[in-house]
Amino acid sequence: MNRNAAKELLHIQGWLDRVDEIVERGRGTYLADGLLHEAGDSLMMKLGEAANRLSRLAIPPPATYRPRRRPVRLRRPRRA
């Protein structure tokens, strides 16, 4: 495996571990703590940037990867 790809994958693994730590605290804790919001946003940006770097390295997805058949739709916030 390419050294740069291995490094990116190692970083991704660590960031996903941090995401798990945030999720384990629960939704209520997350919603009540602005610092957790910032941490979550930062982790998502880091993951996206790493995914872009991996795509430029032409690393194929793992054999276990199965793309979604339909896109995920985000809910719009309700108007007050």
User: Which pLDDT value is given to residue 71?
Assistant: 63
Instruction: Indicate the average pLDDT of the chain.
Output: 85
Q: Do 36 and 30 touch, CB atoms closer than 8 A? A: yes
pLDDT, tens digit (0-9, with 9 covering 90-100), for 42-58: 999 999 999 899 888 88
Tell me the C-alpha distance between 51 and 30, whole Å: 25
The residue ranges of every structural domain in the chain are: 3-54
Q: Where are the alpha helices (DSSP H) in the chain?
A: 3-24, 27-32, 34-56
Reading the block at residue 33, the tokens are: 């703590």
Question: Above 90 in pLDDT, residue 61?
Answer: no
The 10 Å Cβ neighbour count of residue 8 is 19
